[in-house]
Amino acid sequence: MTAAQYRQAVDDTRACMKDAGFEVGSIGPGSAGVLLSFSWEAAEGSGEAYSSCYEEHLKEVEHYWFHANVPSGNEREDMVAEFRICLADGGIDVSAVPLTDDLAELLTSVQEQVGDESDEFTAALLCVDDYRLLYPEGVLPL
């Protein structure tokens, strides 16, 4: 699959939302530096319309695209190091956070350290979002 094919699926999903009568924003960078996204008006029925459009045009393509871009080897190691710096910058004691491929285990460890209502936990969630390619099964399971 090419980037152009993925982009076309996103374009088709956006057009589907527009055809359903909703105002849509332009396509731009989304999560993890790999996915694309667009906004749509928050109106009655928009969530259901997006779910339908996503299922029809994008779901399988996006899952494939996302998983095809999950880093491995040295690239993954570098990303893990950057992720841990992000956590530390957000106030997390990374020496107490296990190096794990399990997102739930990681979040439980962070939550036990700082609580789930803290600014530090919120910062950790933002790091997870920025580095979601490290946790593909917790983000877009196949």
The pLDDT value recorded for residue 32 is: 67
Dihedral of CA atoms 95, 98, 101, 107 in degrees, nearest 10, equals -90
Does the pLDDT of residue 79 top 60, yes or no? Answer: yes
Domain boundary among 35, 52, 68: 68
Task: Name the domain count of the chain.
Answer: 2
The pLDDT value recorded for residue 81 is: 93
Same domain, 126 and 92: yes
| Closest to 62 measured CA to CA, from 116, 134, 8, 121 | 8
Does the pLDDT of residue 126 top 80, yes or no? Answer: yes
Same domain, 16 and 61: yes
The pLDDT value recorded for residue 142 is: 45
The pLDDT value recorded for residue 4 is: 95
For the full predicted model, state whether its pTM sits above 0.75.
Answer: no
Does the pLDDT of residue 31 top 70, yes or no? Answer: no
